[in-house]
Amino acid sequence: MHKQDVTIYDVAREAKVSMATVSRVVNGNNNVRKETRDRVMEVIKRLHYQPNAVAQGLASKRTTTVGLIVPDLTNLYFAELSKGIDDIAVLYKYNIIISSVENRLMKEDAVIQGLLNKQVDGVIYMSNKLSEEAAEAFKRTDTPVVLAGTVSDNLEFPSVNIDYKKADTEALNLLLNDGKKKLALVVGDKEAPINRDHRIPAFEKFVADNELEGCEIFDNIKDYSDGYNLYPELAKKGINGAIVTKDVSSVGLLNSTLDRGAKVPEDFEIVTASATQIASVVRPALTTIKQPLYDLGAVAMRMLTKLMNDEGLEDKHIVLPYELIKKQSTLNK
Amino acid sequence: MHKQDVTIYDVAREAKVSMATVSRVVNGNNNVRKETRDRVMEVIKRLHYQPNAVAQGLASKRTTTVGLIVPDLTNLYFAELSKGIDDIAVLYKYNIIISSVENRLMKEDAVIQGLLNKQVDGVIYMSNKLSEEAAEAFKRTDTPVVLAGTVSDNLEFPSVNIDYKKADTEALNLLLNDGKKKLALVVGDKEAPINRDHRIPAFEKFVADNELEGCEIFDNIKDYSDGYNLYPELAKKGINGAIVTKDVSSVGLLNSTLDRGAKVPEDFEIVTASATQIASVVRPALTTIKQPLYDLGAVAMRMLTKLMNDEGLEDKHIVLPYELIKKQSTLNK
DNA sequence: CTGAAAGCGCTAACAC
DNA sequence: GTGTTAGCGCTTTCAG
């Protein structure tokens, strides 16, 4: 970034107006006579003037930039969320500073502080859970924050989610209806609020309500091989149906099942709780709880634009509909 | 972004020094007596002072922000590249403004101009091809640019790639060695420089060198269903081996092949030219040209940091090694 | 080692 | 409608 060649001052001089007028033209302020505006526009074009957004940001205290906090860029779940956010951001002319925080030395609150120092106008936070430190960092600022696809203990921050309990219950009903009675819930982290407060209670309630026996929760299944290595244990325990929260784990479990000669869905049924591209290209195709990831992101960003304009929100917590997509990994009787 | 509560001026007054000294402390300048430094640090901590990066940017002409231009966030190919970039960016304390440009009304050069207006210190451009307008926009500025996994006609811009010709030739040799002689090259866009100048010439040369007949190039295969719908045509023409540039298309083709009762790899072999997670979870697993996506991104970002520090580059065009990973979609005799 | 002062490029009252 | 004038919060000579 070298010294800027042409500034608002050059345009003013050349167009024989004050820089205030140039500023008005640039910002679409109506208080400029048409002839003046045209003249200024002509000079802007001729000189290839481009406003310096940093200077604008310092003077106006708005950077038209929002921060995005995401665990991992290469996780399709968050990539699809981000796409929804990005599309709405473009619509409202915001740029996005993206920060991934998983497996980093830098602590989450330091990342957030860095974003705030850059004077972002707002932040969207995505994760399986809102960490303590992140929540604290957000509370210290008055920069608006929206949680997308992220469960939080307190309802302090606006959020967009689906009804995880309802979705899981519906999936469990599908399994039960197919005659599978020894069910499993396979999660990445038992303590993540989304699991602790939603999926696990829903599972336990379902098991109790239907008086099922031998059902179990499996923790710490985070990637493909975790899923792949899990099947023997499930088989030994006679489990014949599972809801798996991560789709790569689902695929690992699926492949493992097939490799060991079990039939899906006859012997064993799988429902995956996060439907990304990966779940739909494997064979047999996986039955999924389809979260509207794109929409979750888009709605979250729309909420944020309102907050950044001090417009206020009708609903602070939005719940979007999901869909249970029945494919070949369940019998679907 | 409201009025900042505590500024460098507050710290200066409280510590009984000038703001210049506070600035020195904040920026780690050594020309400060230890006692003074300690006193300033104490006040900074006590007042929770955080420098305003926008003001720093305006005054210093460095924003410690780089722009990333990517076709689509949800394409794992670019997501993995981005991850490499991001990790190095964090290391050098840069933030990343990410802009996706595929299927947008806004033209690419407008996106680039927007990034430049934000005074990014550098730009990394990723795409299948560098568009004319993008190249023009980059030429107008002296902000450094690096191309990652992107082929360009001219060698004006520094770049990081693999040797696509060599990789494809090795893959074709694998197919031929397995006894497959009617080969196909399946691409997304014939006119993209990576195909036009690398993959297609390599394919044609291979066919000529080995005096093969009935080999053909298939264009416009961009997604899963394109790949899925392609197989009948290949079958009719007796094609028995294919290199597919996009991995989702490869998977589509694979599933279609299996659905129609052909055996992979006995009757038909597939090699995919971009190995993302998707290629490795399907069954049979796909043989792939494994591009070091993470490294491509990391090296590109490292180059950019050098350029941003006016350090100069030893090599302007870096070629990284690839690997041909043999899996079950080829016989591998 | 420290301070004074001049910007960086723009916005936003305020006056006319 | 348009110009004048303060800043926005920080870096960076230049003196001393």
Chain segment A111-146, per-residue pLDDT in tens:
999 999 999 999 999 988 888 889 999 998 999 999
Strand B145-148, strand A145-148: pairing: unpaired
Q: Is the CB of B58 under 7 A from strand C?
A: yes
For C13, nearest residue by CA–C1' is A20
pLDDT at residue number B1: 44
Can you tell me whether residue B167 is helix, strand or coil?
A: helix
Intra-chain end-to-end CA distance of chain A, in Å: 64
Q: Testing the interface with A: which of B105, B281, B282, B301 to mutate, by most A Cβ within 10 A? A: B281
Q: Which residue of A has its CA nearest to B73?
A: A79
Q: Which residues contact A190 (CB under 8 A, 6 or more apart)?
A: A196, A200, A217, A219, A220
pLDDT at residue number B3: 52
Q: What is the mean pLDDT of each run of 10 residues along chain A (333 residues)?
A: 76 93 92 92 95 96 97 93 97 97 90 97 92 90 94 88 96 96 96 92 97 96 95 95 95 95 94 89 94 97 96 93 96 92
Q: Testing the interface with B: which of A74, A83, A226 to mutate, by most B Cβ within 10 A? A: A74
Q: Which residues contact B66 (CB under 8 A, 6 or more apart)?
A: B89, B94, B95, B96, B97, B120, B121, B122, B123, B124, B301, B304, B308
Q: Are B92 and B305 in contact (CB under 8 A)?
A: yes
d(CA B321, CA B257): 31
Q: Which amino acid is at A105?
A: L
Q: Which residues of A touch B142 (CB under 8 A)?
A: 2
Q: What is the pLDDT along chain B (333 residues), one digit of tens a residue?
A: 455 689 999 999 999 999 999 999 999 988 899 999 999 999 999 999 999 999 999 999 999 999 999 999 999 999 999 999 999 999 999 999 999 999 888 899 999 999 999 999 999 999 888 888 899 999 989 999 999 999 887 789 999 999 999 999 999 999 999 999 999 999 999 988 899 999 999 999 999 999 999 999 999 999 999 999 999 999 999 999 999 999 999 999 999 999 999 999 999 999 999 888 888 899 999 999 999 999 999 999 999 999 999 998 999 999 999 999 999 999 998
Interface of B with A in 161-220 (CB under 8 A): none
d(CA B232, CA B211): 25
d(CA B331, CA B333): 6
pLDDT at residue number A4: 66
pLDDT at residue number A62: 96
Q: Is the CB of B37 under 7 A from strand C?
A: yes
Record: contact A118-B61, CB cut-off 8 A:
no
H-run or E-run covering B320 = strand B317-320
Residue B188 CB: number of other CB atoms within 10 A?
A: 18
d(CA A210, CA A175): 12
Interface of B with A in 52-71 (CB under 8 A): 52-55, 57-58, 61-63, 65
Interface of B with A in 89-108 (CB under 8 A): 90, 95-100, 104, 106
pTM above 0.85, yes or no: yes
CA distance A207 to chain B (A): 32
Distance B221 CA to D6 C1' (A): 60
Q: Is the CB of B246 under 7 A from strand D?
A: no
CA distance B50 to chain A (A): 7
pLDDT at residue number A192: 87
What is the phi/psi pair of residue A66, to 5°?
A: -120, 150
Q: Which residues of A touch B55 (CB under 8 A)?
A: 58
d(CA B138, CA B252): 37
Q: Which amino acid is at B3?
A: K
Q: Are A73 and B86 in contact (CB under 8 A)?
A: yes
Q: Is the CB of A154 under 7 A from strand D?
A: no
d(CA B70, CA B128): 10
Q: Chain C positions under 7 Å from a protein CB? A: 1-5, 7-13
Q: Which of A1, A115, A252 sits opposite B121 (nearest CB)?
A: A1
Closest to B246 in 3D by CA, of B257, B259, B230:
B230
Record: contact B283-A258, CB cut-off 8 A:
yes
CA distance A100 to chain B (A): 8
Q: Which of B54, B80, B106 sits opposite A90 (nearest CB)?
A: B106
Q: Is the CB of A310 under 7 A from strand D?
A: no
The pLDDT mean for chain A works out to: 94
Q: Chain D positions under 7 Å from a protein CB? A: 1-5, 7-13
Number of inter-chain CB pairs under 8 A, A vs B = 143
Closest to B203 in 3D by CA, of B188, B184, B230, B223:
B184
